[in-house]
Amino acid sequence: MKNSYLAFAAAILAAPVIAQPADPVAAAADLALDEDRLAWDFVEGITTEVGPRQPGTEAEARGRAWAMDWLNAAGFANVANEPFMMDTWVRGEERAEVVAPFAQPLTITALGNSGATGARGLEAEVVYFPSYADLQAAPDGSLRGKIAFIGHEMRPTQDGSSYGFAGPARWTGPGLAASKGAVAAVIRSIGTESHRTPHTGGTTFAAGVTPIPAAALSNPDADNLERMFARAGDRPIRMKLTLTPRQLGRTESGNVVGEIVGRDPSLPPVLLACHLDSWDLGTGAVDDGAGCGIIAAAARNVASAGQPLRTIRVLFAGAEETGLWGSRAYSEAHLNEPFAVGIESDFGADRIWRLDTNFTDSNPQLYRRLAQSVVRFGVAPSREVATGGADLNVIRDQKGALVDLQQDGTRYFDLHHTPDDTLDKIDPAQLRQNVAVWTQVVGILANTEGNFLGQQ
């Protein structure tokens, strides 16, 4: 433990202002910890009545209609859909098998933006790269006619930082393999569990690089393929791969918004964000149905404690998964509208353990008030600088105030972008802790005047 952190935390938490029962926001947060049903109702409802909500598709549109009905029923004002256009990719058939020397099927799923093999598939020799760096080191042209297999492994981290370490194998690995001549690429799932549920997710091909078929193997299948390389000796490993995804061109998506109108609508609002779309394999429970349920429940709970000073706006962004289309569209449309602060929930439904802001040093009084208010929910102060979630482009583009309520991500990448992203993975008690912390923090922010960054 660093001494500098001990001193910081001691100073922040010294002589805490214990929330009094008379404080209606604190009382609402405490009640949420024990009894909140709104967040669960949202995520149970949307996973059951809509299910997967692939960006740009009819299923995502049904999700928007469902969410607007829910927001209206929950008493939000100014509920609206703000449509935008996007490039839409959809999955087709997907099959893989090793054909020699150890014939057996493998469980895969196509990555977003993957090219197609055609219905008959393609067969080629596999070249194994234990890590992304090994692929980077491969000479140009050395993969001509081959399938690249990137084995780069991911381990769980509480703060999700291992996603940054392992993620490039998916984000740019297939494009890199294509630039070196590969006819297809398969990667070990960017995920931390060991089930036959491969992790999809977007991949990008640089300008001038023709997209190749690209897929993720489940972790047990990646293990198996690695063992085959260990056992095959000089014998080449040949794989047959069939992927038939399609680019649908431009289709419509949309951002859903709703408001708790404040006592002074002339003040910049508090913006709470999540995304409503999901990958098609699961039902979008932890990514990110839970997040939309958390922010909507918190906004309602703050309202139930008395009309807030500022307006609270919820943004259920569309089409996050395939390129932050909704976040970019929202920023483009609302860049000139001032916001007080942005906060996002998009890292599952496990407990919040740390409070980050980008005004910890510049507005220590506000940071201290926030930090003290959530100690009772087990949330620690931090000097990390909040950068906001994927759907807060508008706040970043404005260089505005950001709060990150960091969730425990230890098991998030067990589920992320897999068929296993389903309601049963959400722990109701941890979900309620999220709502309680959000209620407390949003309640303070929505009732605080001034510029949160501490600027005059």
The answer to whether 285 and 267 have CB atoms below 8 angstroms apart is no
CB of 390 to a copy of itself, least distance (A): 24
Instruction: Taking the CA atoms of 212, 213, 216 and 217 in sequence, report the sign of the dihedral they define.
Output: negative
Residues in 182-201 that interact with a copy of itself by CB under 8 A: 194-197
Distance, in Å, from the CA atom of 283 to the CA atom of 79, rounded to the nearest integer, reads 24
The phi, psi pair for 106, rounded to 5°, reads -125, 150
The answer to whether 47 and 292 have CB atoms below 8 angstroms apart is no
Q: Does 65 bind a copy of itself (CB under 8 A)?
A: no
Distance, in Å, from the CA atom of 259 to the CA atom of 6, rounded to the nearest integer, reads 39
Distance, in Å, from the CA atom of 49 to the CA atom of 44, rounded to the nearest integer, reads 8
Residues in 257-286 that interact with a copy of itself by CB under 8 A: 282-283
- The residue within the footprint of a copy of itself, chosen from 423, 435, 441, 445 (CB under 8 A), is 423
- The residue within the footprint of a copy of itself, chosen from 34, 140, 234, 424 (CB under 8 A), is 424
Beta strands in 364-452 (DSSP E): 380-385, 402-407
User: Which of these segments, 47-55, 125-133, 142-150, 269-277, binds a copy of itself (CB under 8 A)?
Assistant: 47-55
Q: Does 102 bind a copy of itself (CB under 8 A)?
A: yes
**Contact code string over 115-144 relative to a copy of itself, x by CB under 8 A:** ------------------------------
Q: How many CA atoms lie within 13 A of 338 on its CB side?
A: 9
Q: Does 419 bind a copy of itself (CB under 8 A)?
A: yes
Q: Which residues of 126-163 are buried (b: 16+ CB within 10 A; e: fewer)?
A: bbbbeebeebeebeeeebeebbbbbbbbbeebbbbebb
Neighbours of 125 (CB within 10 A): 14
CB of 416 to a copy of itself, least distance (A): 14
Bridge partners of residue 125, in order along the sequence: 238
CB of 108 to a copy of itself, least distance (A): 12
Q: How far apart are the two ends of the chain, measured CA to CA in Å?
A: 36
Query: Which C-beta is closer to a copy of itself: that of 197 or that of 372?
Result: 197
- The residue within the footprint of a copy of itself, chosen from 37, 144, 231, 246 (CB under 8 A), is 231
Q: For helices 290-304 and 24-35, what crossing angle results, to 10°?
A: 140
The answer to whether 121 and 240 have CB atoms below 8 angstroms apart is yes
Query: Which C-beta is closer to a copy of itself: that of 50 or that of 303?
Result: 50
Q: Does 236 bind a copy of itself (CB under 8 A)?
A: no
Q: Does 320 bind a copy of itself (CB under 8 A)?
A: no
Query: Which C-beta is closer to a copy of itself: that of 62 or that of 376?
Result: 62
User: Which of these segments, 100-108, 136-144, 386-394, 434-442, binds a copy of itself (CB under 8 A)?
Assistant: 100-108
**Contact code string over 283-302 relative to a copy of itself, x by CB under 8 A:** x-------------------
Query: Which C-beta is closer to a copy of itself: that of 54 or that of 398?
Result: 54
DSSP line for 402-418: EEEEEE--TTHHHHTTS
- The residue within the footprint of a copy of itself, chosen from 8, 9, 13, 45 (CB under 8 A), is 45
Distance, in Å, from the CA atom of 257 to the CA atom of 292, rounded to the nearest integer, reads 11
Residues at the contact surface with a copy of itself, assessed by CB under 8 A: 44-45, 47-52, 59, 62, 101-105, 107, 194-197, 219-220, 223-224, 227-228, 231, 282-283, 418-420, 422-425
